[in-house]
Amino acid sequence: MTTRSETQTTLDHLLTEIEHRNPAQPEFHQAAHEVLETLAPVIAARPEYAEPGLVERLVEPERQVIFRVPWQDDQGRVHVNRGFRVEFNSALGPYKGGLRFHPSVNLGVIKFLGFEQIFKNALTGLGIGGGKGGSDFDPHGRSDAEVMRFCQSFMTELYRHIGEHTDVPAGDIGVGGREIGYLFGQYRRITNRWEAGVLTGKGQGWGGSLIRPEATGYGNVLFAAAMLRERGEDLEGQTAVVSGSGNVAIYTIEKLTALGANAVTCSDSSGYVVDEKGIDLDLLKQIKEVERGRVDAYAERRGASARFVPGGSVWDVPADLALPSATQNELDENAATALIRNGVKAVSEGANMPTTPEAVHLLQQAGVAFGPGKAANAGGVAVSALEMAQNHARTSWTAERVEEELAAIMTSIHTTCHETAERYDAPGDYVTGANIAGFERVADAMLAQGVI
């Protein structure tokens, strides 16, 4: 039998090859490294995983699509953006993962997100593969008509690569209900099919699921609560810092408040707000979802309890819990040091890979419960899969039923990660537990289906 050290050496060689074959893609390198450095125990224990080049196939996308997206602004000027769809792994079901519209989008970012999605989707147990897509288009400041024209151009190419049994995109940063509506309309126009299951995150009146907008934030809080319960605590009375002010952050704050915690921060690219009384959710939703404004407006209108800090780090605010809910690599070593110094008990990732590897290491060394995004923020894709199930049956579930299903899935994910970590001699290490548990589910399906 191959030893763990020999297996790790083989994985290290593979990581070197990944970096060589995928130059200038640091986010993808980081995601691959984070997973592969935890797999040596399971591959050493189950040598069948090493035989058919399984890991080598797992880290190579099944399909990568890059395309031109020309569109016209309101002044008649033509712009050209780049569109992406990386269909990473379909061993467990159709590719499933969001579309991100943001200037930072490039192939490396999409590949990192798609790779993470493989394991996240596997952990839900809902039979969905991993993929991701998007564009370097920035919807911020664009009119509805401009966003519509961009979405129609984007879908004119994307439609040929997706379908309810092939690849099912959803929303992500920069892609909300407005964008999903325009994308679905163009798909329907081109294909002449009412294929409700081709996109998730749809409007509730035309195939969308209740609780889908809330699902990622709600699920993250439920995972954090499960980690605390494992330590004999609950959310009641805990102070929480939350980064971001988009969909994930808003519904993270909402669920924290409902379960008795006090969420005192939110942020955007301009800085962050601290509200000693707890974030006023109605005011935050008005500013961010209706007015599409900045968080400094929240502080101006909230009154004496709130202050706006331009720039700086939201992680300097003392709290029991930290829930990074903005973007990748937002919580670094300095931030982790500040959180630990201020007595943080748990960090749960609402965004995708928001914590740098160095920060994760520091938090784990300090005994902080750390919930990685592929487990903690799986609630969004879980309810997307439930939306697909409702579409297939031409029915709509009640909010209570969807939330019950979500709670059961998040509890199951926590249990799976916790038990898998213990099984591989890493008690309390949710990173190792999530990576190995997700890998085992995908690897078993890949073995059963042959070398494809």
Measured at the CA of 115, the angle between CA 54 and CA 442, to 5 degrees, comes to 45
Is the per-residue pLDDT at 2 higher than 90? no
CA distance 213 to 236: 24
Task: Quote the pLDDT of residue 136.
Answer: 98
Among the listed residues 382, 431, 314, 1, the one whose alpha carbon sits nearest the alpha carbon of residue 170: 382
Is the per-residue pLDDT at 397 higher than 70? yes
Which residues face 60 on adjacent strands?
A: none
> Across residues 421-443, what is the average pLDDT?
98
Coil vs helix vs strand at 348: strand
Quick count: other Cβ atoms within 10 Å of Cβ 53? Answer: 10
CA distance 314 to 274: 8
DSSP state of 290: I
* 170 φ/ψ sector (left φ>0, alpha ψ -120 to 50, else beta): beta
Q: Do 298 and 306 meet the contact criterion of CB atoms below 8 Å apart?
A: yes
- With the CA atoms of 414, 416, 422 and 427 taken in that order, what torsion angle do they form, in degrees rounded to the nearest 10? -20
CA distance 8 to 327: 30
Task: Quote the pLDDT of residue 57.
Answer: 98
Task: Quote the pLDDT of residue 44.
Answer: 93
CA distance 170 to 175: 8
Residue 384 marked ligand-binding: yes
The rounded mean pLDDT for the chain is 97
CA distance 452 to 448: 11
Handedness of CA 59, 62, 68, 69 (dihedral sign): negative
Q: How far apart are the first and last CA of the chain?
A: 26
CA distance 223 to 298: 28
% of the chain beyond a pLDDT of 70: 100
Q: Do 414 and 226 meet the contact criterion of CB atoms below 8 Å apart?
A: yes
Strand ranges across the sheet with 63-72:
63-72, 78-89, 129-135, 95-101, 167-171
Quick count: other Cβ atoms within 10 Å of Cβ 374? Answer: 31
CA distance 215 to 23: 35
CA distance 441 to 91: 9
> Across residues 244-270, what is the average pLDDT?
97
CA distance 412 to 197: 25
Residue 247 marked ligand-binding: yes
The first and second tokens of residue 152, run together, are 């129609």
Quick count: other Cβ atoms within 10 Å of Cβ 107? Answer: 17
Give 194-229 pLDDT, tens digit per residue: 999 999 999 999 999 999 999 999 999 999 999 999
* Helix ranges, 93-206 (H): 107-124, 144-158, 177-191
* Residue 300 pLDDT level (bands cut at 50, 70, 90): very high
Task: Name the burial class of residue 333, with classes exposed (0-12), middle (13-18) and buried (19+) by CB atoms within 10 angstroms of its CB.
Answer: middle
- With the CA atoms of 13, 17, 20 and 22 taken in that order, what torsion angle do they form, in degrees rounded to the nearest 10? -130
Strand ranges across the sheet with 262-263:
262-263, 239-242, 321-323, 346-348, 369-371
Task: Quote the pLDDT of residue 4.
Answer: 83
% of the chain beyond a pLDDT of 90: 97
Among the listed residues 52, 47, 63, 60, the one whose alpha carbon sits nearest the alpha carbon of residue 17: 60
Give 139-154 pLDDT, tens digit per residue: 989 999 999 999 999 9
Residues comprising the chain, all counted: 452
Is the per-residue pLDDT at 1 higher than 70? no
Residues with catalytic function: 132
User: How far, rounded to the nearest angstrom, does the alpha carbon of residue 150 sit from its chain's CA centroid?
Assistant: 24
Q: Do 391 and 412 meet the contact criterion of CB atoms below 8 Å apart?
A: no
CA distance 435 to 106: 25
Coil vs helix vs strand at 386: helix
Ramachandran angles phi, psi of 307, nearest 5°: -135, 145
Whole-Å CA distances, 372 to 106, 118, 273, 405, 417: 23, 14, 25, 21, 10
Task: Quote the pLDDT of residue 359.
Answer: 98
Q: Do 48 and 447 meet the contact criterion of CB atoms below 8 Å apart?
A: yes
Among the listed residues 136, 151, 140, 143, the one whose alpha carbon sits nearest the alpha carbon of residue 183: 151
Is the per-residue pLDDT at 135 higher than 70? yes
Task: Quote the pLDDT of residue 350.
Answer: 98
Residue 216 marked ligand-binding: yes
The packing angle between helices 399-423 and 430-449, to 10°, is: 100
